[in-house]
Amino acid sequence: MSAKLEGKTAVVTGAAGALGSAVAAHFATEGIQAIVLADVNLDAVDALAETLREQGVEVATERLDVTDGDAFDAMIHGAATRFGTVDTLVNTAGIVSPNARIHNLTTMDWERSMSVNLTGTFHGIRAVARALRKKANVSIVNIASVSGLTAWTYAAPYCASKAGVIHLTRVAALEYAKEGIRVNTVCPGTFPTALHDTLPAEALTAIEARHPLGFGAPADLTGAVTFLASDESRWVTGHSLVVDGGYSLP
């Protein structure tokens, strides 16, 4: 069986996180030739970079805050110059909002989620469109959440930002379909990571009970991301691929 990403190049944001690092590691097993591991916090990326290099992948690491649009532009431009092109951008960077109802949220709580989750994704799509439209066969994979499709209490900024990512994906898919850029979203259910450190244990237990297949793990999502990044999904764009252990069925 041939590798799905043979010879391709990728940029992964949030690469120090649970999902971002799993995606990068999986891309290496699928033949990725070169990858940029980008995160606001690079501490955890070095060990991953070393492992990928040992597997023959050309790796660059970048300290990137996705809320900085100019820095995102520079990173994509730099990667395209260094590697010849960027075939895939995976927008994984994300944060959760405080566990609170709307009347207890500050404007800053709201703006922080919007700025990282939604504006950060916008910056990534814009950077790729500016640097690579009409030049390549590019796939952008945005990581949203089932919380963008189903309403959660105590999580309004997170839900609204992820719903925004889903719809932004559809608009971007339409705008760039004729210029060689596909844009899709993966909507994960819950897989416990550092993202949930601020959640009370009883909230996590309640969330797990709503997943017919139980909680997932990053490895349960990497196949979906790889499919959307690869040419196997060449006729798929604007889609939100739900990977949630059945969470959104009822």
Ligand X SMILES: NC(=O)c1ccc[n+]([C@@H]2O[C@H](COP(=O)([O-])OP(=O)(O)OC[C@H]3O[C@@H](n4cnc5c(N)ncnc54)[C@H](O)[C@@H]3O)[C@@H](O)[C@H]2O)c1
Q: Which of 233, 149, 134, 220 is nearest to 183 (CA)?
A: 233
Which residue's CB atom is positioned nearest to ligand X? 17
Out of 124, 157, 164, 188, the residue judged to bind ligand X by CB under 6 A = 188
- CB nearer to ligand X: give 135 or 198: 198
Total binding residues toward ligand X, as defined by CB under 6 A: 28
Out of 4, 39, 88, 172, the residue judged to bind ligand X by CB under 6 A = 39
- First vs last C-alpha separation in the chain: 37
Nearest 10 degrees: CA dihedral of 80, 85, 87, 93?
0
Is residue 240 involved in binding ligand X (CB under 6 A)? Answer: no
Query: Tokens in use for 211?
Result: 């997943």
CB 52 within 8 A of CB 107: no
- CB nearer to ligand X: give 190 or 222: 190
What does the alpha-carbon distance between residue 35 and residue 61 come to, in Å, rounded to a whole number?
9
Is residue 143 involved in binding ligand X (CB under 6 A)? Answer: yes
Which ranges of 96-233 would DSSP assign to H, the alpha helix? Answer: 107-113, 120-132, 156-176, 201-209, 222-229
Out of 64, 127, 131, 155, the residue judged to bind ligand X by CB under 6 A = 64
Stretch that binds ligand X, among 15-23, 28-36, 47-55, 105-113 (CB under 6 A): 15-23
Residues 78-107 that bind ligand X (CB under 6 A): 92-95
Catalytic residue list = 158
Question: Minimal distance in Å, beta carbon 117 to ligand X?
Answer: 6
Instruction: Break the chain down into helix, strand, coil percent, rounded to 5.
Output: 50, 15, 35
Positions touching ligand X (CB under 6 A) are: 13-14, 16-20, 39-41, 64-67, 92-95, 116, 120, 143, 145, 188, 190-191, 193-195
